[in-house]
Amino acid sequence: STVIEGQLLWEPTPERKRASEVVRYMRWLEREKGLVFSDYESLWQWSIRELEAFWESIWQFYGMKASAPYRRVLDARRMPGAKWFEGARLNFAEHILRHRSDEHPALIAFSELRPKTEINWAELERTVGAVAAGLKAPA
């Protein structure tokens, strides 16, 4: 069949929409910030208008932990050259690995060249540790 530009090819079920991360985020915004958005479009418009508030809420929603706090979310609205969360120091690997679970794989990779691949949390942690050790090793 022919696909016409602008034609909707797929839409998630109402159940899948309600269980989505963006809906969870919108509920959090309402509960924690008193911000109510009727749909994705209104959330998107707010994220553009209130750029700094949006990104700060993302930081808070995902529970980012920093060993040194940021001084401001954004120094200036310019690209290239914008500086985000200046002063913050965090360990990205720590944030990724804090969600480890034996119930679900850490990564699922799909490729047209290879079969579906799953990496469990223990394997991911070993790999991250090896990369960290390599980066810390003297040159």
pLDDT, tens digit, 9 for 90 and up, residues 20-54: 999 999 999 999 999 999 999 999 999 999 999 99
pLDDT for position 91: 87
- Residues sharing a CB contact under 8 Å with residue 67, sequence separation 6 or more, in sequence order: 89, 90, 91
pLDDT for position 97: 86
Q: What is the largest CA-CA distance in the chain?
A: 58
Would you place residue 110 in the very low, low, confident or very high pLDDT band (cuts 50, 70, 90)? very high
Predicted TM-score of the model (pTM): 0.75
- What sign does the CA torsion over 127, 132, 133, 139 have? positive
